[in-house]
Amino acid sequence: MTKLKEDRTARVQAERTNAILMQVNKTYTATEIAKELGFKSAIALNHDLGNRKIQFRQNDCRYADCGYVEIKQEVLDNGKVIYHRRFTQLGREWLVKIYNR
């Protein structure tokens, strides 16, 4: 009976967390996340994510379909395309969990 109660409590907490995360529209730059996690810069964070095989060069990411990042495309006047990657609240929480293990 105790196991069932623990499972239910964990499920309710997970549902609350998910509801909170889904309502937050703020996104975070790699620099903001890097500072929060104690890295010197976004470059250092991205390098570490690459070493951990979480993020790869050329906009390839193992977790691309998980909703952890939001990518916006900007076309400059000269025709060059720039991609802006920002972490979602869900992605921020995921990274914080990874680095606080």
Contacts of 37 (CB under 8 A, 6+ apart): 45, 95, 96, 99
Share of the chain above pLDDT 70, in %: 82
Q: Is residue 57 pLDDT above 60, yes or no? A: no
Question: Among the listed ranges 8-12, 22-26, 43-47, which one has the minimum average pLDDT value?
Answer: 22-26
pLDDT in tens, 13-22: 777 766 666 6
- Please report, for the chain, the start and end positions of each structural domain, with discontinuous segments joined by +: 26-99
pTM as predicted: 0.64
Residue 58 CB burial class (10 angstroms; 0-12, 13-18, ≥19): exposed
